[in-house]
A and B are shown apart, each in its own frame.
Chain A
Amino acid sequence: MNGELILFFVLALVAIGSGILMLNLTKVVHMVIALVFTFLSIAGLYVMLSAEFVAFVQVLIYSGAITIIMLFGIMLTRHDDKTETKIGVPRMILVLTGIVAFFVVMFFQINDLSFGEQAADLHVDNTEKIGIALYSKYVIPFELTSVLLLVALVGAIILAKRDDEDKGAEDNE
């Protein structure tokens, strides 16, 4: 067992463990913290896959921006919210069956995997390559994504804005 594998297992366990913790913790702030751990360990996994740029973005946006906004949101609203855990036995069994089945299938898939030769220079000029691909080959989906983000923004405003307020709040778009 080499170091890489050990690192992988550690990161994977942290990611999954934090995910489960997030679901089972009762305080909202605790959940967010658990979420941060998941995000960070996933970033670690990206680094292991020679995807530094993605890892960087992951830390910056998910662990940073998103978590902070969530915390703000919780602070600014009632932060003593607790979840009510009321899950019936049948549904537990249902979900458990699903997870076990999914795991079995996934395990067999990955166990059998053989990729042939692998690209070795993935880490070279990683960011630049992404940039070039994004702005040349994938410019159409890229632009479409900007429409998508705009829609999401407008949508968030529509749903969050109070109606009796001045309509000017829409200036944000």
Chain B
Amino acid sequence: MTLEKLLSYDWGIMAPEFTILIVATLLSLMDLFMPNKTSRKPLALLGIAGVIIAIVFSVLQIGTEPTSILFDTYRFDAFALAFKLLFLVATGLILLLAIDYEGEREWEFRGEFFYLLLTALLGAMMMASSADLITLFVGLELLSISSYILAGIRKNNLHSNEAAFKYVVNGGIATAITLFGMSYIYGLTGSTNLYEISEALTNPAVEQNAFLLVMAFVMLLVGLAFKIAAAPFHMWAPDVYQGSATPVTAFLSVVSKSAGFALILKMFLITFLSVQGWHNAIILELQPYIAVIAGVTMVVGNVVALRQRNIKRMFAYSSIAHAGYVLVPFVSLSLLVFKMTWFYLLAYLLMNIGAFAVIQFVTEKERSEDFTAFSGLYKRAPWVAVMMAVFILSLAGLPFTAGFIGKFGIFMSSLGTGHYVLASVMIATTVISYVYYFNILVQIFFRKGEVDRLLPSIGLLIVMIICGAGTIFFGIYPGAAYDFFQEFDMNELFIK
């Protein structure tokens, strides 16, 4: 390959990724040369600026034809763009959260946090915009390794150490399993390119080894189930979420999880559907197992959440449960899968980051992560309490919130494809979830707590307002998001 050929690719299409990479590098250099006892918070502003530039680039790319660089090791298409936008928006909001995080004495001087968040974001973006197993895997690892460090960044905190350690060990297991599955697929098809793999699957020599192929995909599924914290591969999540700094928890539960979903959708759908269409034998065979994983995840997440007193742990289980919901459209495969998943992830992004903003606010003021820290919040900070109510109602899936529309869409799509059992499990577990969501509301509105007034800082306030407004807006007028999503032609995903 000549340099000329290398330069002939449209590298400009990678502008969002380059932006993030450059900003991350800049931040790390600035962190290095800043005096020791200078607050690193301004770095976050630069980080946010970088994210906004990347968002602008991405928005400008809407409608661009699918572009492939170097045999799909980087691939731009509507699918990638739609998911990258989610990651970018979420990371921007989390950076805002992080500015006002006051975990520990030295937190202010932890500039690493901001650029590690960006490298993690870069990993997530690569996971969405590649069609090559190797790039996907490296992106996954970049995200994971950055997350491990982020989880352990409060190194004087015992919980944080524990979180990082557990995350590394469990993540290692997951990586091993994923890689093992990938090696099988490469071994069978002789290619790392998802489209070539898809073509190879019709090859009789490969079809003969259907067993191996199924096993490989099960292992991939299991490996990625770790990432999205689906049962029974979820056990790390509560400890890690609890131990990490709140912005990190928000990142793990939103960006990391969404990236996992993007990867699952991409990998499975391209390999199975781009050549063989929607009624592929292997995917039909795997469907019941995914359904079981989704069902068990919903049950375990919601039921165990009932007994949690630590608010972050409770939200960890809640987030596990939500992973179960998002798996449902993947089970009930239809053309709606992208729309439903994307919208749910959008709603989840808004309500979860919003909720974490409130959690960060309350746990910091109260110096306690017990859910009784919320008692009397309505008296102390009425607007924050109302926002939290909006987020909680949305997480619980009550009407007039984005969470309701998301859940409703998923529910309808699963009914439409005849997955009644899964739909029933979804309803039943949703009802169970009311109980613990409700307990928080009871604390906020009906319990007496301290009487002093609390005021959130500007950053938190902005996050809460954006998330709250979004949650309600998309709950009342979901058409806005759906129309926006129409801009993305998901069929591009299947065109080589």
Measured CB to CB, the residues of A under 8 A from B are 105, 108-109, 112-116, 132, 136-141, 144-145, 147-148, 151-152, 154-155, 158-159, 163, 166-167, 170-171, 173
Contacts and interface: CB of A to CB of B under 8 A. Distances in A.
A108 B210 CA distance: 12
Contacts of B215: 105, 109
Interface in B123-148: 123, 126, 130, 132, 134-135, 137-139, 141-142, 145-146, 148
- By secondary structure, the A interface counts as helix
A155 B145 contact: yes
A173 B27 CA distance: 13
B116 interface: yes
Contacts of A139: 6, 70, 73
Interface string B309-320: 000000000000
Given A115-B205, A148-B138, A167-B36, A155 B149 contact: yes
Contact of B112 (A109, A137, A154): A154
Given A139-B70, A144-B135, A112 B32 contact: no
Given A136-B1, A137-B1, A147 B21 contact: yes
Contact of B73 (A108, A137, A173): A137
A108 B148 contact: no
Nearest to B152: A159
Contact of B122 (A114, A147, A171): A147
Interface string B401-417: 00000000000000000
Contact of B142 (A136, A144, A159): A144
A151 B142 contact: yes
A148 B116 contact: no
Contact of A145 (B32, B122, B138, B212): B138
B252 to A, nearest CB: 15
A85 to B, nearest CB: 18
A109 B212 contact: yes
Contacts of A158: 112, 149, 153, 155
Contacts of B28: 154, 173
A170 B73 CA distance: 33
B106 A163 contact: yes
B205 A159 contact: no
Given A151-B142, A155-B116, A109 B135 contact: no
Contact of B145 (A112, A137, A151): A151
B119 interface: yes
Given A116-B205, A155-B146, 11 more contacts: A105-B215, A114-B205, A132-B1, A140-B69, A140-B70, A141-B73, A148-B141, A151-B119, A154-B116, A158-B155, A163-B106
A145 B36 CA distance: 30
Interface string B193-210: 000000000000100110
A139 B116 CA distance: 22
A112 B208 CA distance: 9
A109 B74 CA distance: 33
Interface residues of B, number: 44
A147 B119 contact: yes
B211 interface: yes
B264 interface: no
A137 B68 CA distance: 12
Given A105-B215, A112-B211, A137-B71, A152 B6 contact: no
Nearest to B148: A155
Most buried by A among B73, B109, B123: B73
Contacts of A166: 36
A38 B146 CA distance: 29
Contact of B134 (A115, A116, A138): A138
Nearest to B213: A109
A159 B70 contact: no
Nearest to A156: B149
B64 interface: no
A113 B205 CA distance: 10
Interface string B26-51: 00100110001000000000000000
Interface string B71-88: 101100000000000000
B491 interface: no
Contacts of B368: none
A155 to B, nearest CB: 3
A167 B215 CA distance: 49
Q: 10 closest A-B pairs (Cβ-Cβ)? A: A155-B149, A136-B1, A116-B205, A167-B36, A141-B135, A140-B73, A141-B138, A148-B142, A141-B134, A144-B138
B155 A171 contact: no
A155 B149 CA distance: 6
Given A140-B73, A170-B32, A148 B149 contact: no
A159 B148 CA distance: 11
Contacts of B148: 155
Most buried by A among B28, B116, B142, B152: B142
Contacts of B212: 109, 112-113
Contacts of B153: 158
B156 interface: yes
Contacts of B185: none
A114 B211 CA distance: 11
B455 to A, nearest CB: 31
A82 B234 CA distance: 30
A115 B137 CA distance: 25
A113 B209 contact: yes
B261 to A, nearest CB: 21
Contacts of A116: 205
Contact of B132 (A114, A141, A148): A141
23 contacts: A112-B209, A115-B205, A116-B205, A132-B1, A136-B1, A137-B1, A137-B70, A140-B69, A140-B73, A141-B73, A141-B134, A147-B119, A147-B122, A148-B142, A151-B119, A154-B112, A155-B116, A155-B148, A155-B149, A167-B109, A170-B31, A171-B32, A173-B28
